[in-house]
Amino acid sequence: MSKYKKKDAERKGAKKQREIEGKLMRENLEGSEGIKDHTKVTVILPGGATKRFDVSAKTRYDDMLLGFNLNPEIVVVLKNGVPVPLDDVVEAGELRVLKVVSGG
């Protein structure tokens, strides 16, 4: 891949990430009125970085991962040491995201 195509792909990826983050922020704002319909989450990302934030009660794990620019197909999310289905809705608490490595 040429460096120009690579830069273009990086820009598109960054744009997609901003769109997802914006969507998550809008969901959080919509959920902040009246009844509590957001969830407090602590996420430990690959590499050890820890992020604490609120997500909409409707946010799924795969959408949350995309917000961190992580491909849901190459990671696993653990809650209390147990893998969670990525199409489930995010639950409050501490989550750990691990990259999956496979080989043959």
| The pLDDT value given to residue 7 | 63
Residue 92 pLDDT more than 80? yes
The total of structural domains in the chain comes to: 1
Find the domain containing 20 and state its range. Answer: 3-99
CATH classification at residue 61 = 3.10.20.30
In a domain, 104, yes or no: no
Q: 82 or 56: whose pLDDT is higher?
A: 82
| The pLDDT value given to residue 93 | 93
Which residue is it, tokens 């960054």?
14
| The pLDDT value given to residue 9 | 63
Residue 52 pLDDT more than 90? yes
Contact between 90 and 61 under an 8 Å Cβ cutoff? The reply is yes
How would residue 35 be classed by pLDDT, with cut points 50, 70 and 90?
very low
In a domain, 95, yes or no: yes
Could you give phi then psi for residue 102, rounded to 5 degrees?
A: -130, 160
In a domain, 33, yes or no: yes
Beta bridge partners of residue 60, listed in sequence order = 89
Residue 94 pLDDT more than 90? yes
How would residue 38 be classed by pLDDT, with cut points 50, 70 and 90?
confident
pLDDT in tens, 62-78: 999 998 889 999 999 99
